[in-house]
Structure 1
Amino acid sequence: MNAIQYLIFTLIGLYSFILVLRAWFQYCKVDFYNPLSQTLVKLTQPVLAPLRKVIPSKNNLDLAALIAAFILSAIKYPALTLIGGQVMPAIPQTLLIGILGVIKTFGEILFWSILIRAILSWFSRGNSPLEYTLYQITEPVLGPIRRLLPSTGMIDFSVMILGFILIFGNKLMYDFFNVLWLLA
Structure 2
Amino acid sequence: MGSLSYTATISLDGYAVDADGDFQWGAPTPEIFQVHLDRMHEVSTEVLGRNTYLLMKYWEAEPDDEEWADAEREFSRRWQALELIVASSTLTHDDLGSGTARLISDLTLPALEQIVADAAGEVEIFGPTTAAPAIVAGMVRDFRFFVVPKVVGGGVRALPDGARLDLKLVESTTYDNGFAYLHYRRG
Whether these two folds match at TM > 0.5 is: no
The structure that is helix-richer by fraction is 1
Higher RCO (CA < 8 A, seq sep 6+): 2
What TM-score do you get using the length of structure 2 for normalisation? 0.29
Name the TM-score, length of structure 1 as normaliser. 0.29
Larger C-alpha radius of gyration, 1 or 2?
1
Q: Which has the higher strand share?
A: 2
